[in-house]
Amino acid sequence: MFGMRARLALAEKGIDYEYKEENLGDKSPVLLEMNPVHKKIPVLIHNGKPVCESLIIVQYIDEVWKDNSPLLPSDPYQKAQARFWADFVDKKVYDAGKRLWTTKGDGLETAKKDFIEALKLLEAELEEKPYFGGENFGFVDVALVTFSSWFYTYETCGNFSVEEHCPKLMEWVKRCMEKESVSKSLADPKKICDFILFYKKKHGFE
């Protein structure tokens, strides 16, 4: 979901780029050289210089290609609020989501409760706006919509429905998916679920 954020931001700005798929079980020398500290994707390499960490990459893209589709607001307070909610997604949604497919029993039930709670807070923040960015798709939309490609996996592992608990959020997801930058950047939810089920089996998470 982190790599998808970068793809989405680049698509929003209309940037041509070379996409290199990494095999996390066999990381390339380029990745290890460009992100020696964390050895993780995504890494954006712009004229040979690496930028790491997805939200930092998205802000970088927004600042360099600043003349179209601004993702962050110009007002410092609105900007701080956008950063807050993107950070919330990384702290709460990611953590609970991960526990949804790596735990079982009580751990899984707690994860489900935490995940739904986090989504409800985001749904409340969205209110009646078309996007988290207001009239226009913005930074928080980028930060969160990529997780929607994992909803099918989370729902399957946790045996629940996001739509049932957060119908307005699902309307927002559908609205975002109407944007070509989003629909072309998100991975197919079924492919993600297949991969996770395979990974669970391989690493004994069942």
- Residues lying near a second copy in the complex (CB under 8 A) are found at 37, 46, 49, 51-53, 56-57, 59-60, 63-64, 76-77, 79-80, 83-84, 87-88, 121
Residue (33 or 63) nearer to a second copy, CB: 63
Taking the complex as a whole, the smallest distance from the CB of residue 139 to a second copy amounts, in Å, to: 12
Least Cβ distance, residue 125 to a second copy (angstroms): 9
What is the C-alpha separation between 69 and 180, in angstroms, rounded? Answer: 14
CB closer to a second copy out of 61 and 196? 61
Q: What does the radius of gyration of the chain's CA atoms come to, in whole angstroms?
A: 17
Which residue lies nearer to a second copy by CB, 35 or 153? 35
* Shortest separation between residue 206's beta carbon and a second copy, angstroms: 27
Cis ω on the peptide bond leading into residue 189 (within 30° of 0)? no
Smallest distance from the beta carbon of 77 to a second copy, in angstroms? 6
Helices (H), the chain: 2-13, 29-34, 54-64, 76-88, 94-102, 105-126, 139-145, 151-158, 162-165, 167-177, 180-183, 189-202
